[in-house]
Each structure stands twice: as C-alpha cells, then as structure tokens.
Structure 1
Amino acid sequence: MSDGSGGSDRDSSGLKRAFQIQLMALSIGLSLWLVWFLRSLVLDVLLALIVALVLDPAVKFLYRFNLKRSIASVIVFVAALCIFLVVVFLVTRPLYNAGVKFSHELPRLVNQAQTGTGRFGQLIRQFHVDSYVQANSSKLTSLLTQASGPAVVAAKTVLSGVARVVTIFLLSLFIEIEAPVLFGVIYQQAGPLRRVALMRVRRRLVKAITGYVLGNLLTSIIAGVVVYIALLALGVPFPIVLAVWVAVVDLLPLVGGLLAGVPTVLFALLHSVAAGIIVAVIFIVYQQLENHILNPVIMSRTVRLNTLWVLISVLVGADLLGFIGALIGIPVAATIQVIGGEIWSMQQRKRGIDPAEGQLFFDDKGGDLQL
C-alpha cells in the first residue's frame, strides 16, 4: 500500500510540476505578445527612461542648491525640450522658406517648360523632352499645382513627431520625479544581499547608458558642426539642414557616418565638383578621427561592449523598430550585459567562488571585459 501511495504522490507531483511549467510558458508567451502588441507604447517608455537617465545628472546638480527635486526636474526638462524645439525650428525653417520660394517660382517654371524659354526650358530642350511637355502640358500643370499636398503631409508628420517627443519628455519628467520613491520601495522589499545587488546594477546601468547617450550626442554634435563650417565655407546651399541631418544620422553606431556622408557629398557635388571632393575628404578624415580618437576617449570608460555585440544589437534593434530601434539597441545590450553579469556573479558566489566583478563578455583583445 505504501508503494502505491508513494507512486501516486510522485505522479501527482510530476503533473503539478508539468502544469506549472506550462503555465509559466503560457505566461511568458502572453507577456511577449502583449509587449509586441504595445510596442509603440513600450518604445516610448524606454525612450523616456533613457531621457530621464541622461538628464538625471543635471537634476542632481540643481538639487545641490537646495532646490526641490520636482522644481529641479522641471527646470532641466523644460530647458532640454526648448533646445530640442530650437533644433527642429533651425531644420524646418530653411525647408519652409525653400517651399515658399518654390511655390512663388512655380508659375514661371511651368511657363518656361511650355514655351521652352529660360534656364528650365533650355534643360527640357537639351534632354529632348520638349515634345512630351507640349503634349502633356495640361497634366503637368495640374500635377505641379497640386504639389502642396506632400508638403502638407510632411508638415503633419513633423507636428506629430514633435507632439510625440513632448509626450516622451513629460513621461520622463514624471519618471525622474518619482524614481527615488519607486527605488526606495523596491529596496525595502528586497533582502540585504539583493538590495546591494540592485544598487550595484542601477549604478552600472546609469553609468553605461548615460555615458553612451552623452558620448554619442557629443560626437554627433561635433560631426554636425564640422560639416556646417565646411558647407558654409564652400557656399553649399542649406548648410544648417545638411549639418543637422549629419548630426542626427551620425547617432547610429558603426554605419551612421557613412549613411550621413553619402547624401551630403552628392548634394555638394550638385553645387560644384570641387565642393563635393572637399566634403568627401572632410568626411573621411573626420570618420577616422571619430573612430580612433573621439569614440575611444569618450566611451571607453562608460559602455565597453564587444564590437560584435554592438553590431548585433544595432541590427536587431533596426530590424524590430527601425531607426529608433538602432539607437536604443546599444543601451538595451548594455542593460542585458550588466544584469547578466550580476546574475552570473551571484551564481558564482553561491558556489563559493569569488568572481572578478562583472567579467562576463570578452573584449577585442581577448581579455575579460569589465563593466
């Protein structure tokens, strides 16, 4: 009887464990589906967290002058938002002026195309499309007069993007204000050992993510300033627009410089061959300086990820979430590395081994990579 009872207990225990495993798998699957379904909101929250981490040192600096944390946070975040809006204005203003100028020139261009006069008409005759223009003049006139449609769509897109950025800033502001209370509750619920581990993870994450974002911003701003000075000196049109384009695209790790440089060089070539060659040389020289001097100096003490790990994180982020995903790929990879390193260290300590702090991945020289 005892053997039968023992076998029944073992079967019941096995069924219970199998049910728990299936329930856990189902919960994980539903959680992943929910995250993917709400990926736009999740992305905004991640961006808000990154913004809060980046602006946290400035908030702490003002906090030292006996300002309330909420007041210091509002001052810093409003200042950062104003800087962003100024950058948007500097980019969109020249484009708006160019659009207004084009709309004023549109009737004259249509007339030149139909009559074959003026510079525009000469280009049409040179490329032997004058007969096509004459045969389809009414259609071309209709299409050109409706050219304001894409401009309206672009304006709506810009306004929508600005509204989303403002929302992210507001969310990050509340995160910054409430973060100490939230972390205080978490630390109280955790045991002494876990509390120390959580504090260590938080410290490393702040250092890694803040260092990466600020370092990336600094190198991108330097790239934009260098390109702006070069284009302004060469007389290339829209230097501020192209400089901001370079600064934004240069934020992409590894490939940002190339993606930013090709269109800029081509635009400079349209102005003059000499300008295109000079801009190309400037891009090549600057990329070498950024890759071998600026990036190692700025980021070597903050984010220290293996090059392959960086490339994988950028590719996965870009495939899942596009440009924004490529930007946040490295912070997410750094988070995985920090948390994974802490878990690995805790497991080693449980086995009686005192691991070197943070040794989880390997750097390009074959040694252990310190977090």
Structure 2
Amino acid sequence: MPRRTATMLASTLVLIALLCAGVFFPVPYAEMSPGPTVNTLGEADGEPVLQVSGHKTYPTSGNLNMTTVRVTGADYRMNLVEAVYGWLAHDSVVVPHDTLYPNGKTEEQSTQENAEEFSQSQESAKVAALGQLGIPVASRVVVSSVQKDSPAEGTLHAGDVIKAVDGAPVRQPQDVAKYVTKHKPKERVVFTIVPAKDAAAAEKAGREPTTTQQVTITTRTSDEGDRAIVGIQAGTDHTFPFTVDIKLADVGGPSAGLMFSLGIVDKLTPGDLTGGRFVAGTGTIDDAGKVGPIGGIEMKLVGARKAGARYFLTPADNCAAAASDTPEGLTLIKVNTIKDAMASLEKVREGATTGFPSCSAG
C-alpha cells in the first residue's frame, strides 16, 4: 500500500475513533435552552392563568409574559459532541452538571424543590401585588415542615401557628430559630401555638383564633453539631381578603414572581399596565415587593424575543449578564422592586423606547 494512502487511511481511522469516543464518552455537563413564555394576562391549557374571585376585576390587553428555561434531566449524560455543539450554539448554554444538580441531587428532588419554590413565589406575588395596591394582607408564622425523627415530630405539625417561643412573641419566621438556639442541646423550649385545625377553622369563619396551647420540646444537637434544634422549618402563611388563584402547570422555581404580581395588579386596576404592548420579564419577588435575581437570564432573553417581546423587565442583579448579549429589538429595563416595574410600565404605555433604568455590561 502506498505510504500516502496508508497515512490517509490511518488518519481516517483516528478521526472515526475520535468521533465514536465523542458520541459514547459522557461528560459532566448539562444544557440550558430557552423554554416557553406564558402571558400572565392570558390563558394556559384553556383557562386563565390568573383567576380572581371576591373582588372586581378589569379587562386587560397586551402581554406580561413570564419566561422559562429548559434544562436537561439529572440522569441525562451529555456526550462530548453534544457539549461542543451546545458551546457553539447561540440559543443554548452548556454548564457543569453540578450547577443544576448540586450534591448529587436527583431529578425527583429537584422537581420537588422547584414545585415548593413555585408555590411560595405565588404567595409572595399575591402579597406584593396587594401591597402595591394598598390592600392589607394578614400574615402569621407557621410550622412549614417537621423533620422526620426530630424532637418536634408528633408534637408540632405543619400548619400550626407559632405565637411565641419561651413567652417571647414570634413576628417573623427567623424569630423561631433565634429563640431556640439560645438553648443548649437537651434543654426544654416552650412553644405557644394555635393548632393547625383550629387556625383553619377560625380562618374559614373569618375570625382570629382565640385558643392557644403550650407544648414543651427537648432540643437536640444539630447534625452539624453547632447548635440546638427542635427539627422544624418555620414559614409565613397569609390570609387574603379575596381569592387569587394562579393556574399554571409544568412550571417550577421562583423566577415568575415579578410577572405574576404585575399581572395581578393589572387585573385589579382599570386601564392596561402595558398599553397593549408586549412586555416580558423575570425575577423572584418577596412579600415586600423586592425583586431578586434568577438563573438562565440569557436563555430567557432569547425565548422572550422569539415570542415577540419588545421590552424585558430585568432584575438589577442580572443586568450585567443580560446586557452582554441582548437580542436585537429587545429593550432591557432594570428593576429592583415592583414599584420600579410599575414606574417603567407607565413609560411603556406612553410608547417610550428610551429613558428606562438601563442595564449595562460590566
């Protein structure tokens, strides 16, 4: 065989071997890509995303779209060829697998966590929206969950209202840990509670619960060995003056909070927040209306622009990443709070294309 032919054959075989290795050799990466966007003022699966009963609502127009990101599953093993293609593609991002699934988190665990965050984001979106409108919302500190085989198991239950710890009034969830950790392990701590069933009955009857109980729990050492615990997670429960339901399946995580809250405000006030224009956005939101950062901002921008958005409400902490690669025709608007977003939407209604709080690459 001529030397040239032998060299070409050898090179071809090496190339084939490398391609095979690329296809079959898994790499520790995962992929993020643009997910669907949903108009919070519109419908999903044939029913309104936002449903209000017990309060007057008003017609809306335009779009206030929440945005999503698709990710590969925890068990999916990307090969080298797919990783290289993802790195080169403009509409996807390849990230270390542990970025999406840290500490060996399974897909089931991630889904459950995302569902819990999504539920909490809906509650905060409602509180923030009503706060923006000056509508009071009653809140209380409750037992969110009880750790299995913990000192509190069988004594405290999810939904119990925590009124005091060792006689000290509890006004926010972090108060519970503050008071419990004043104790040493194996010391007793006294909780003043309203049992969940009594609290639910009082809420249904439209009154404040009047009956409280005191329960005593002996603390134990935390798994880290650095403090006393009883094994509960405290959270906040709200009593709304009317019903606001958010109907949206197959979505998880907290990043739709801002857009849900703006959609609720639009439904409850005359006129249109957008002036009929297409606005998309993202951002977590807390009860006070503060907007927080999210992941996958680049993919959300791409998804929003493909859907037709012209304006994008961007959490301030995501601004630098968003400004570094903004799709053509999309105006970024920096927001720190729901109040910021409302002020900018007033300019959107007027047809402004400049003068918004801007994002800059940095």
TM-score band w.r.t. shorter chain: under 0.3
Q: TM-score, normalised by structure 1?
A: 0.24
Q: Which has the higher helix share?
A: 1
Q: TM-score, normalised by structure 2?
A: 0.24
Q: Which has the higher strand share?
A: 2
